[in-house]
Structure 1
Amino acid sequence: MRELIRDTVFSRLAWLADEFSERPALWQGEHKINYRELNERTNQLACGFLHEGMKPGSHVAIWGEPDLQLLLMFIALQKLGCVTILLNTCLKYKEAQEQVVETDTEFMVVGDGYKEIDFLEEMSKMSEDVQRQLKKIIYAGVRQNIPYIGFNEIVENGETSQEMDLFKRMAAQLQVENPAVMLATSGTTGLKSKLVVLSMFHLVNGGLQKAEVFKMNTFDIICMAMPLFHIFCLDVNVMAALMSGACLYLPKNRRSREVLRAVQEAKCTVLNAVPSIFYSLLARQEEENYDVSSLRVGMIGGAYCPPEKFCEIDRKFGFTLIPGLGQTEAAAGIAAAEIADPLEVRSTTVGHIVDYMEARIVNTETQKVLPTGEAGEVCVRGCMLMMGYYKQPELTAESYDNDGYMHTGDIGYIDGDGYLHMKARIKDLINRGGEKINPNEIESLIMKDHRVRSCKVVPVPDEHYGEQACAVIECKNNQSITTEEVIDSLKNNLADYKIPAYVLFVAHIPRTATGKYRQKEIIKMAIEKLKL
């Protein structure tokens, strides 16, 4: 068990700069920054931020895709002790504006955009009240003649200011229990985001725990294939790499071709992603066959992955794929397998409960603690759980029981060897006339067909049963499958009530920017297409 440390990002990077000064820390294309340079540049940026009026405790939102500039700014803000709000890059101005207000954001760092969304244009649409709320907007992009202060100006202000001594005194006085980041979470089914607050202690130790799972060393190169605003990426990519002395590689963008090209050109050794991203990478790899022989390990999490698909990813990428269970409220995750675990264990469980976390399984109705091997809700307790939901003390209190265990909303059981087996999310279960249907069970069987790229089973309304299951299927390129084939394959393995009443084939299943399925959108699409 790795000891927890009480370092801040400031003190940890200062130590890494001394120990591994010439080892690469951040790398994108032709630009590579070692740990000495990382420490110096982020100190300069922190001074520049101080010059602009930021201070420990300031709320600063980041709205942009991860590149070198943005990562350097994020690290500098953490060094200064600012509370960094990481906004989803798929948000439009009304949604972003709402979170700016809810999080009491004082400053914003804005990039160019994501896909068809132009962040600068969206910023111009925000209300006058929000514009007045923001003390300063900082631009982290490549365009010219932008009416906001830019990255280079911040750096220059940091180089010329007399505030380095003041910054270092402030940074040295920061407490690891101080809030560090704020992340919005509502899963993909909720109506309103919950704002999870995590501390510096959570970030640093969460990263180091993941580095321990990966057996990470200073020669590892981690490919960042996910967006910064997702806790999975922040934990297993950014903090795992930069708190352990490894190198974080940033692809040109997060498209499957660019991610695989990055692995090939940079000889990345670690690749972490949610299942749908791995599915896209598999499809692209089958078409273009990149050299991914440098990969040695990767983690998959964020959504259910059928055992057959897990094994396919593990085999075709030629590395050790590790399953993990986490959620934003549990900064360092809840469970993870080990590299030494056999494939059968890694593909069918999510590993053991992580260090410094306790877990118990309870009956969802009576809250009675259940024995080994019996399925119920997974509840966890430990020092790596969130500080709470921002300005929502009642909601925070509701998430815990009287013994301090947090309800995860996941259904699972722990076997005799201590491995956690996941069954479903409570809110994803389909209630067909009182019979509970686990979508994962159906999806796992459908995904066995080599023609299927991805599948999501969702509830749709039914006058008689209340809800019926609908299987929404996305086939691989140039592949097709019939409804009859799907139903026939399921009838041999499932009880009749579990057989989907509807099978819907679509070109693309809606996903979030992090690769998770958009549950509400999929249900709406199914209802419209089926004319229910």
Structure 2
Amino acid sequence: MLDRAYLPADDSTPLVEITVGDLLRQRAGEHPDRLALIGTRHGSGVELRLTYAELLAEAERVATGLSRLAAPGSFVALWAPNVVEWPMIQYGAALAGVTLVALNPVLRQAELEYALRHSRATVLLHADSSRTYDMATVAKQLGEQIPELTVLSLSETDRWRPAEPDPAVLAAAPTDPAAPVMLQYTSGTTGRPKGVLLRHRSLVNVAKLTMEAIDVEAGAVGLNPLPMFHTASCVIGTLGPLWIGGTEILIEQFDPVGVLDAMRRENVTVLFYVPAVLGALLEVQRSSTEPAPRLRTVLGGASNVSPTMIEAAERVFGAAVINLFGQTELAPVLTATRPTDSRSDQLQTVGHPLPQVDVKIVDPATGEVVPLDTPGEICARGYQQLIEYLHDPQATAATVDAEGFVHTGDLGTMDSRGYIRLTGRLKELIIRKGENIAPAEIESCLAELEFVIDAAVVGIPDETLGELVAAVVRVRGAEPADLRERLIAHCRERLSPYKLPARWFVTTDFPLTPTQKVQKFKLVQSITEGELRELV
């Protein structure tokens, strides 16, 4: 039992020292004829179903093509939605020894230009379009503005995926698991995005330890509707199935009806989710005449997952709902609930840290480790942490302390067993009359109400109190005439008076980051500019 909020690493579960490419080679050797990947082709939308042997062959062809376009150790950018070429290029880049720059397909020209110039990418592989966005035109214009950049459409397969692999390239594939393999850009909601540089070892072992911790069965069929440019998708949703020798079904554009149909048709047992995705699936299934698909594991997180949503998913899909917590800088999983956890732990915590990582919770003001069950900033040190923020030593030094711990910016408590409860974001703390108020606690309270789909709590400036607590809700069905009174009554029963929101607003949609987190600064802006409807 712990006597303070510091949990040493559990080293009883070993790490594996292999690269992403070597892991694919292992699985192809073990299960050559097993279905590895289902997805849609770029341009045509035709479904492609690849066995492990076929996926490795595709990756080796990609590695050959990339080796002719970029030097080992250089940066190759991929700007595309969830087409089947995405994981093929991910594996091919790993075999070629280049660092893949994962880019959000909705980036506008200035945002894309920033990422390409900042990363110093020498190659840009791009989709021609995503939904109605003309990506080809944007990519062409940037190619003219950045002469050192080779710009290739995914349609130009002969240039980046030749017909035959080069044995010399494959023989020279990297073997050092400490080498960089991927660059991920943060959401950039409070400033310029930072480039998070990650190792082979980090990605492979996060996938391994996450799948092992939650006991996902070998060979499971997993459905991945999450955007591939983010680690939740390209690590947990892609390397996770690879670790267990399973099948990844990659969804190009999320549509809850289509996803539910695919889950039934393909006998899916594992669903990767963020709350917005899971909530949409539950809403559609609620009104569907089709039977709900039966799952074994629903796996995800990215923000506080309400007990109401967890219980609904268990009831509808018959699955164990696993709540993960982490961030891109941790590749991305730090903690997970387990199927064997108590009911309270499953509903109220983000679980216990994965093996091989030290975790501490510190006072943000002093940096000292706090007592048990005391809120503070969650910090972690281990194999999965970022190498650095690329070209930004100041940001790296501000995030990684002198003892090597990554400061996550997330607030939480640790109990004597090492289980962690989230209490909010350091930058989101509302300070009202000197009292620190964590929005996550109020949001969880509001999520208990059946008619509340989503809730977000923010602080808005007030001359007298410093900040006022404001709540924005999205409601299900017809809005009750006494909505404000019902919200207040519910919170008053469960929260201290100083935490009770002073102002209440209703919206039909929240502004979201690409990883489906609410952009609270935009909510504050909408409130101050009178754009949201206030309940009075």
**What is the rounded CA distance, in whole Å, between the counterparts of 2:215 and 2:416 in structure 1?**
26
**What is the rounded CA distance, in whole Å, between the counterparts of 1:289 and 1:421 in structure 2?**
37
Give yes or no for the alignment of 1:31 onto 2:37.
no
Question: What is the deviation of 1:419?
Answer: 1.1
User: Aligned to 1:3, which of 3, 11, 14?
Assistant: 14
**SS at 1:227's partner residue?**
coil
Gaps of 5+ in 1: 142-149
2:519 alignment counterpart: 518
Question: What is the deviation of 1:289?
Answer: 4.9
User: Aligned to 1:151, which of 157, 165, 175?
Assistant: 157
User: Aligned to 1:61, which of 70, 77, 91?
Assistant: 77
Question: What is the deviation of 1:217?
Answer: 3.8
Give yes or no for the alignment of 1:18 onto 2:20.
no
Question: What is the deviation of 1:212?
Answer: 1.1
Higher RCO (Cα < 8 Å, 6 or more apart): 2
1:366 alignment counterpart: 366
2:195 alignment counterpart: 195
Q: Deviation per CA, 1:47-74: give whole Å up to 9, x if none.
A: 12223x2232121111111121222122
Q: Which amino acid aligns with 2:148?
A: Q
Q: Could you tell me whether the CA contact under 8 Å between 2:455 and 2:474 is conserved in 1?
A: yes
Question: For structure 1, which segment, 16-25 or 289-298, has the greater mean C-alpha deviation from structure 2 after superposition?
Answer: 289-298
**What is the rounded CA distance, in whole Å, between the counterparts of 1:388 and 1:249 in structure 2?**
32
Question: Superposed, which structure 2 residues align to 1:117-516 within 5 Å?
Answer: 117-126=133-142, 128-130=144-146, 132-134=147-149, 136-140=150-154, 150-155=156-161, 157-159=162-164, 164-171=166-173, 173-186=174-187, 188=189, 190-480=190-480, 482-516=483-517
Question: What is the deviation of 1:417?
Answer: 2.4
Question: What is the deviation of 1:264?
Answer: 1.5
- When residues 45 and 406 of structure 1 are mapped into structure 2, their CA distance, relative to the original with a 3 A threshold, is closer
User: Aligned to 2:65, which of 43, 48, 61?
Assistant: 48
Question: What is the deviation of 1:321?
Answer: 0.5
Q: Could you tell me whether the CA contact under 8 Å between 1:267 and 1:292 is conserved in 2?
A: no
**What is the rounded CA distance, in whole Å, between the counterparts of 1:362 and 1:262 in structure 2?**
44
**What is the rounded CA distance, in whole Å, between the counterparts of 2:528 and 2:362 in structure 1?**
34
Give yes or no for the alignment of 1:83 onto 2:99.
yes
Q: Could you tell me whether the CA contact under 8 Å between 1:48 and 1:158 is conserved in 2?
A: no
- When residues 503 and 224 of structure 1 are mapped into structure 2, their CA distance, relative to the original with a 3 A threshold, is same
User: Aligned to 1:73, which of 89, 112, 128?
Assistant: 89
**What is the rounded CA distance, in whole Å, between the counterparts of 2:346 and 2:133 in structure 1?**
38
**What is the rounded CA distance, in whole Å, between the counterparts of 1:252 and 1:50 in structure 2?**
27
**What is the rounded CA distance, in whole Å, between the counterparts of 1:19 and 1:474 in structure 2?**
48
**What is the rounded CA distance, in whole Å, between the counterparts of 1:366 and 1:50 in structure 2?**
49
1:528 alignment counterpart: 529
Question: What is the deviation of 1:523?
Answer: 1.7
**What is the rounded CA distance, in whole Å, between the counterparts of 1:76 and 1:167 in structure 2?**
11
Question: What is the deviation of 1:4?
Answer: 1.2
Q: Which amino acid aligns with 1:506?
A: T
**What is the rounded CA distance, in whole Å, between the counterparts of 2:13 and 2:467 in structure 1?**
47
Q: Deviation per CA, 1:274-326: give whole Å up to 9, x if none.
A: 11221111111112255444310022311112223322222222100011111
**What is the rounded CA distance, in whole Å, between the counterparts of 1:210 and 1:187 in structure 2?**
27
Q: Which amino acid aligns with 1:516?
A: K
Question: What is the deviation of 1:490?
Answer: 1.8
Question: What is the deviation of 1:507?
Answer: 1.2
**What is the rounded CA distance, in whole Å, between the counterparts of 1:24 and 1:197 in structure 2?**
31
**What is the rounded CA distance, in whole Å, between the counterparts of 2:223 and 2:479 in structure 1?**
30
Q: Which amino acid aligns with 1:133?
A: E
Q: CA RMSD in A?
A: 2.0
1:147 alignment counterpart: none
1:144 alignment counterpart: none
**SS at 1:272's partner residue?**
strand
Q: Could you tell me whether the CA contact under 8 Å between 2:372 and 2:414 is conserved in 1?
A: yes
**What is the rounded CA distance, in whole Å, between the counterparts of 1:197 and 1:239 in structure 2?**
17
- How many residues align? The count is 515
Question: What is the deviation of 1:480?
Answer: 4.0
**What is the rounded CA distance, in whole Å, between the counterparts of 2:521 and 2:289 in structure 1?**
35
- When residues 456 and 289 of structure 1 are mapped into structure 2, their CA distance, relative to the original with a 3 A threshold, is farther
- When residues 78 and 292 of structure 1 are mapped into structure 2, their CA distance, relative to the original with a 3 A threshold, is farther
Q: Could you tell me whether the CA contact under 8 Å between 1:251 and 1:262 is conserved in 2?
A: no
Question: What is the deviation of 1:92?
Answer: 0.8
Q: Could you tell me whether the CA contact under 8 Å between 1:264 and 1:290 is conserved in 2?
A: no
**SS at 1:409's partner residue?**
strand
**SS at 2:453's partner residue?**
strand
- TM-score, normalising length from structure 1? 0.92
Q: Which amino acid aligns with 2:501?
A: P
**What is the rounded CA distance, in whole Å, between the counterparts of 1:125 and 1:431 in structure 2?**
46
Q: Could you tell me whether the CA contact under 8 Å between 2:21 and 2:95 is conserved in 1?
A: yes
**SS at 1:133's partner residue?**
coil
Q: Deviation per CA, 1:178-234: give whole Å up to 9, x if none.
A: 11100111464x212111000111111121112213423443111111001111122
Q: Could you tell me whether the CA contact under 8 Å between 1:221 and 1:247 is conserved in 2?
A: yes
**SS at 1:449's partner residue?**
coil
- TM-score, normalising length from structure 2? 0.91
